[in-house]
Amino acid sequence: MPARGKKTRTTVQLSDLPQGAVLADALPAEEESIVTSYPTVVQQARRSMDKFDNCVLLTRVGGFYELYFEHADEYAPLLNLKLASKKTSAGPVAMAGFPFFQLDRYLKILVQDLNKYVAVAEEFPNNAEQKLKSGGLMHNRKVTRIITPGTLIDENFIDPYANNYVMAIHVSGQVSPVSTATIPLGLAWLDLSTGRFFTQQTDLASLGSILSRIAPREIVLSRELQSRDQHAIFSILAEDRHLITYASTGDLVNVSDWSSMLEADIPRATLEGFSEDEISAGHLVLSYVKDRLQGMSMKLQPPSRHENMQIMTIDKNSLRALEVKQTIRDGFFRGSLLHAIRRTVTKSGSRLLNEWLSAPSTSTDVITARQDLVAHFFASPDLCDLITTLLRRSHDSQRLVQKFALGRGDADELIDLANTIQATADIANILEKTAAETSSEGLVALTNRIDLTEPLTLARRITAAIDEAGVELQHEAAESEAGQMMALAEGIVAAQGSAEDASVLLPKSKKKRPTSIKEHYGEDNDAWIMKPEASPALTTLHSALASLLQERESLGETLRERLGAPSLTLKWSPGLGHVAHIKGKDARNLTDIRTLSSSRSTRSFHLAEWTALGQRLDQARFQIRREEQRVFQSLREHVIVNLVKLRRNAAVLDELDIATSFSRLAVEQGLVRPVLNNSTAHTILGGRHPTVEGGLVEQGRSFVENDCFVGNPAAGSLWLITGPNMAGKSTFLRQTALITILAQIGCYVPASHAELGIVDAIFSRVGSADNLYRDQSTFMVEMLETAHILKHATPRSFVIMDEIGRGTTPEDGAAVSYACLHHLVTVNQCRTLFATHFHAVADFAEADGLCDPEHGAVQLYCTDIEVDDDGNFVYVHRLRRGINRKSHALKAAKRAGLPEPALRMAERVLGKMDAH
């Protein structure tokens, strides 16, 4: 310590002192002084809560994520967390928290179940300068990402079998709040987990159907619309309860501003085709996602314009009525068309199949190419099985690659990516060999799309660098049991929190405290991510570490001999650092050593030699970790360089997955390859319903096949179908529509033979329900859906209509029903299957000369029942020509269990009506 200087005396004259009022800074407001008296962590949380006021804030504090203030009060009960009070000099602060490794669990509840936005504030170590500025604070905390339902990346709860889209809607002009179907809209939607990006120009009338097809998890609108809640767009969005977020376009002004967020330039043709509304929507969605990522890098695929795609339109009502993706009654996946046909073995393949079903192709070239691929695997079952096996070895590379594009991804994902590249190479080799042997143009075209030159180099680098056994060891150390994690969290809480925090956040346990991860790595159990050969520097560093470990062994031997303590071991612990540890009689004999900790039979103490060597070991391990991170970052960058190729290869694997799955499905269910042409006719022999048949087979029953020739010159453009309830009219309508959809996605179909003219749109008016939210009765909903069909169906469309007019009186219902039939035949001139219980409709059609048996536009078909001598009956599901003027409703009512008195009354009333 330096010597204290000599005392001195200074004399100041009174006149030298400043005169007048004493100037001082104003005292802070009482409210501000309260804020500044909060602990730093709590104060940082308060500021973040104020800044991101529409989000639930989760703040990382050591081993926990914590909620404070009103967020703790509101969400602790919803998350089943214990609500506690943290004592501060400013008063108690409500708090709750959970261990960091349970983040995904609580994010799922908040984001997926409660539709909340979550701001995650992570902690970052302060360097020496930052510590000085912050008064010695070890960590700084800042929000690194805002997680919303539409901006998921790799969370464990993201649906692996469906895209996770966020969609921005730009309302052109925003001049009229009234319901105007022609209001132009610009749409832009993207999936942050895969990097896919689309735009479309449309109008308000088509929005509902587009939303049903794309199924976005989140809708983004301009802030300017927030105050205009009477705008017509809100009634459409409210129907399916879409989550709406308001945002601004930020600093995006031109399409060129998108470049930094895209993996490649936008093709000139696409760029020139953009409408102003699409560009505005693109600005909106990109600005929103950029804000959610809080500075995280983003590389999306260049946007695709939906207008450039040749696809069949399936409107919202048809998707629901035909149960394409979920059942009408309960919304279940089981029982839907997708469930019936999905045999894909990869998650990305399943997502692509989901897309195809929502938007079947209208290009005969595209459909034929898909069918050719299915046919090749159908004819070669061994090849199909081999490709399927290799596909099972691949991983979800679409989402894997996007993780790295967003600056995420770990060693496991690099290994998965390398395995996927190798599986792709094996598949490409097999397909090239098969293509050469069979001269298959389809296989040649497919393999030509695979580019493996650079990706294989990447895969070899990953395999040569990453130590899979070491990665597995790390997982075992980090995830072997929840108690191990809780012990680590307890240590961090003890260091940074209070005893109260620990009692609040940690469960009671009487188990012995397990070894911490830090302690695990402090010994010789080093689990390295990279192999020593991953870089020359790593090789040198591992060699140096091995020498130090050998030196440690030698030191241990020397110390045991010098101190005469055979039990002596050299250890490291989080609290004591590098210590020598003895036990048994050695602990009793060595009494002249200063002890750091002891028990009845053990003692720990410092030795200068071991402390110095231990520090060198720590430094060597630190240098290895740092070099590992450098190599790992280099591999990540190599992935980014190959981003486009990896995504294109992944797209090929997805198509192969669907083709092989269609092949297996065809063999399993006896499906046939349909013929697609440019006619306006359906020729289906022995058609079956793809989902109903499966249900009957499970019950040991068989499905009755039916033919359909609607649209053929001699068969009429509209089939008017009558018959009893429960005799299969609706099933026939639906199965024909589903066969059409299957044919145009490239799948084989459930029939003996099928030849179909390309359909540009499918419309369905089947079943109905009221819409009380919009003050619409069942009949009004039915009429709205019917009006939509009559306005939009073209000669190339396919329409199914079931029991039009049933929601009103028989007379009015029959009139409306026939008017719709007449419009479809004479104006729309499209292929139509029209089922009704109004027999008068057939009479009206005949009276107007529409039902000529040979050339009439309307042809009459019916189902029936057969009754035996004992009065028992069975339904005849096979269609025959003619009209069935009996609906046999009472037979269906009896089978449903209607009480006998009610049945007798119904028979009496029906008898009276027939008599008149």
Find all residues with CB under 8 Å of 905, minimum gap 6, and list them. none
- The helix-helix angle for 364-379 and 643-669 (nearest 10°) equals 70
Residue 769 resides in a domain: yes
Q: 295 — alpha (psi -120 to 50), left (phi > 0) or beta? A: left
User: Do 680 and 756 have their domain in common?
Assistant: yes
142-146, 658-662, 873-877: range with lowest mean pLDDT: 873-877
Distance between CA atoms of 284 and 222, rounded to whole angstroms? Answer: 7
Distance between CA atoms of 668 and 390, rounded to whole angstroms? Answer: 21
Residue 254 is encoded by which pair of tokens?
A: 């031109």
**Residues 818-851: pLDDT tens digits?**
999 999 999 999 999 999 888 888 889 888 888 8
Give the three-state DSSP class for 841: helix
Residue at which a domain ends, from 261, 286, 308: 308
User: Do 91 and 196 have their domain in common?
Assistant: no
Residue 306 DSSP one-character state:
G
CA 649-650-654 angle, 5° bins: 120
Burial class (CB in 10 A: 0-12, 13-18, 19+), 23: exposed
HSE value, Cβ hemisphere, 13 Å, CA-based, for 34: 8
Split at pLDDT 50, 70, 90, the class of 761 is very high
User: Do 247 and 279 have their domain in common?
Assistant: yes
Burial class (CB in 10 A: 0-12, 13-18, 19+), 592: exposed
Question: Residue 632 is which amino acid?
Answer: F
Distance from chain centroid for Cα 13: 80
Distance between CA atoms of 291 and 52, rounded to whole angstroms? Answer: 11
Position 32 scores a pLDDT of 42
* Residue of 571 and 742 predicted with greater confidence: 742
The percentage of residues in the chain with a pLDDT greater than 90, rounded to a whole number, is: 40
Distance from chain centroid for Cα 168: 17
Split at pLDDT 50, 70, 90, the class of 574 is confident
Residue 485 resides in a domain: no
691 close to 665: Cβ distance less than 8 angstroms: no
Distance between CA atoms of 359 and 746, rounded to whole angstroms? Answer: 12
Strands 858-867 and 753-757: unpaired
User: Do 683 and 769 have their domain in common?
Assistant: yes
Distances (CA, A) of 911 to 31, 837, 892, 907, 914: 85, 18, 17, 6, 5
Question: Residue 334 is which amino acid?
Answer: R
706 close to 878: Cβ distance less than 8 angstroms: yes
Residue 753 resides in a domain: yes
Look up the domain containing 685 and give its range: 675-885
Looking at the predicted structure, is the pLDDT value of residue 180 above 80?
no
Split at pLDDT 50, 70, 90, the class of 1 is very low
Looking at the predicted structure, is the pLDDT value of residue 889 above 80?
no
Mean pLDDT over 249-274 rounds to 86
**Residues 219-247: pLDDT tens digits?**
999 988 887 877 888 888 888 788 889 98
Looking at the predicted structure, is the pLDDT value of residue 114 above 80?
yes
User: Do 214 and 98 have their domain in common?
Assistant: no
Position 297 scores a pLDDT of 81
Looking at the predicted structure, is the pLDDT value of residue 28 above 70?
no
241 close to 187: Cβ distance less than 8 angstroms: no
75-89, 413-427, 573-587: range with lowest mean pLDDT: 573-587
- Tokens 């039915």: give the residue: 782
427 close to 391: Cβ distance less than 8 angstroms: yes
Residue 624 resides in a domain: no
Find all residues with CB under 8 Å of 451, minimum gap 6, and list them. 645, 648, 649
Q: What is Dmax (Cα atoms) for the chain? A: 134
Mean pLDDT over 181-205 rounds to 89
Secondary-structure breakdown of the chain: helix, strand, coil percentages, each rounded to the nearest 5: 50, 15, 35
305: phi then psi, degrees, rounded to nearest 5: -85, 125
Find all residues with CB under 8 Å of 348, minimum gap 6, and list them. 194, 396, 397, 398, 399, 650, 653, 654, 657
Split at pLDDT 50, 70, 90, the class of 458 is very high
Distances (CA, A) of 532 to 161, 308, 468, 628: 38, 51, 13, 9
Looking at the predicted structure, is the pLDDT value of residue 866 above 50?
yes
CATH number for position 235: 3.30.420.110
Q: Which of 284-288, 504-508, 524-528 has the highest mean pLDDT?
A: 284-288
State pTM to two decimals: 0.84
Split at pLDDT 50, 70, 90, the class of 655 is very high
Beta sheet of 706-708, edge-to-edge order: 675-677, 753-757, 682-687, 706-708
732 close to 801: Cβ distance less than 8 angstroms: no
HSE value, Cβ hemisphere, 13 Å, CA-based, for 320: 19
Residue 260 resides in a domain: yes
Looking at the predicted structure, is the pLDDT value of residue 35 above 50?
no
Give the three-state DSSP class for 13: coil
Distance between CA atoms of 444 and 432, rounded to whole angstroms? Answer: 7
413 close to 420: Cβ distance less than 8 angstroms: no
User: Do 698 and 832 have their domain in common?
Assistant: yes
539 close to 532: Cβ distance less than 8 angstroms: yes
Split at pLDDT 50, 70, 90, the class of 680 is very high
* Residue of 524 and 285 predicted with greater confidence: 285
Beta sheet of 118-125, edge-to-edge order: 84-86, 93-99, 64-68, 56-61, 118-125, 139-147
Number of structural domains, the chain?
3
User: Do 189 and 49 have their domain in common?
Assistant: no
Looking at the predicted structure, is the pLDDT value of residue 195 above 60?
yes
What is the b/e burial string over 375-392, where b = at least 16 CB atoms within 10 angstroms of the residue's CB? bbbbeeeebbebbbebbe
Looking at the predicted structure, is the pLDDT value of residue 487 above 60?
no
Find all residues with CB under 8 Å of 210, minimum gap 6, and list them. 187, 200, 202
Split at pLDDT 50, 70, 90, the class of 330 is confident
Residue 165 is encoded by which pair of tokens?
A: 């889209």
CATH number for position 45: 3.40.1170.10
CATH number for position 682: 3.40.50.300
User: Do 808 and 841 have their domain in common?
Assistant: yes
User: Do 694 and 728 have their domain in common?
Assistant: yes
Best CA proximity match to 830, nearest among 802, 792, 867: 792
Position 773 scores a pLDDT of 40
147-156, 586-595, 659-668: range with lowest mean pLDDT: 586-595
Give the three-state DSSP class for 707: strand
Looking at the predicted structure, is the pLDDT value of residue 463 above 50?
yes
416 close to 400: Cβ distance less than 8 angstroms: yes
Best CA proximity match to 62, nearest among 444, 456, 611, 493: 493
Best CA proximity match to 797, nearest among 722, 859, 715, 710: 710
Distance between CA atoms of 397 and 435, rounded to whole angstroms? Answer: 25
228-237, 336-345, 439-448: range with lowest mean pLDDT: 228-237
Residue 65 resides in a domain: yes
110: phi then psi, degrees, rounded to nearest 5: -70, -50
Looking at the predicted structure, is the pLDDT value of residue 50 above 60?
yes
Question: Residue 879 is which amino acid?
Answer: L
Looking at the predicted structure, is the pLDDT value of residue 439 above 60?
yes
Residue 587 resides in a domain: no
Looking at the predicted structure, is the pLDDT value of residue 707 above 70?
yes
User: E strands of 16-158, at which residues?
Assistant: 56-61, 64-68, 84-86, 93-99, 118-125, 139-147
- Tokens 């140096």: give the residue: 544
Mean pLDDT over 892-915 rounds to 80
Handedness of CA 434, 435, 437, 441 (dihedral sign): positive
User: Do 862 and 739 have their domain in common?
Assistant: yes
Residue at which a domain ends, from 273, 291, 308: 308
Position 116 scores a pLDDT of 92
Position 31 scores a pLDDT of 43
Query: In terms of DSSP H, where are the helices of 536-642?
Result: 536-563, 585-589, 608-641
Distance between CA atoms of 83 and 737, rounded to whole angstroms? Answer: 55
Query: In terms of DSSP H, where are the helices of 394-481?
Result: 397-405, 411-438, 441-448, 453-465, 468-479
Residue 336 DSSP one-character state:
S
Mean pLDDT over 768-773 rounds to 46
Looking at the predicted structure, is the pLDDT value of residue 892 above 50?
yes
User: Do 193 and 99 have their domain in common?
Assistant: no
Best CA proximity match to 310, nearest among 683, 790, 745, 754: 745
Residue 754 resides in a domain: yes
Burial class (CB in 10 A: 0-12, 13-18, 19+), 92: exposed
Mean pLDDT over 564-571 rounds to 84
178-192, 673-687, 705-719, 763-777: range with lowest mean pLDDT: 763-777
Position 735 scores a pLDDT of 93
- The helix-helix angle for 364-379 and 441-448 (nearest 10°) equals 100
Residue 876 is encoded by which pair of tokens?
A: 């005849």
The percentage of residues in the chain with a pLDDT greater than 70, rounded to a whole number, is: 85
User: Do 712 and 832 have their domain in common?
Assistant: yes
Looking at the predicted structure, is the pLDDT value of residue 762 above 90?
yes
Find all residues with CB under 8 Å of 224, minimum gap 6, and list them. 174
Best CA proximity match to 289, nearest among 191, 194, 422, 368: 191
Looking at the predicted structure, is the pLDDT value of residue 771 above 60?
no
Residue 261 is encoded by which pair of tokens?
A: 């967020």
Split at pLDDT 50, 70, 90, the class of 754 is very high
User: For the chain, what's the residue count?
Assistant: 916
**Residues 394-438: pLDDT tens digits?**
999 899 999 888 888 888 899 999 999 999 999 999 999 998 888
Position 172 scores a pLDDT of 79
Residue 298 is encoded by which pair of tokens?
A: 């983003």
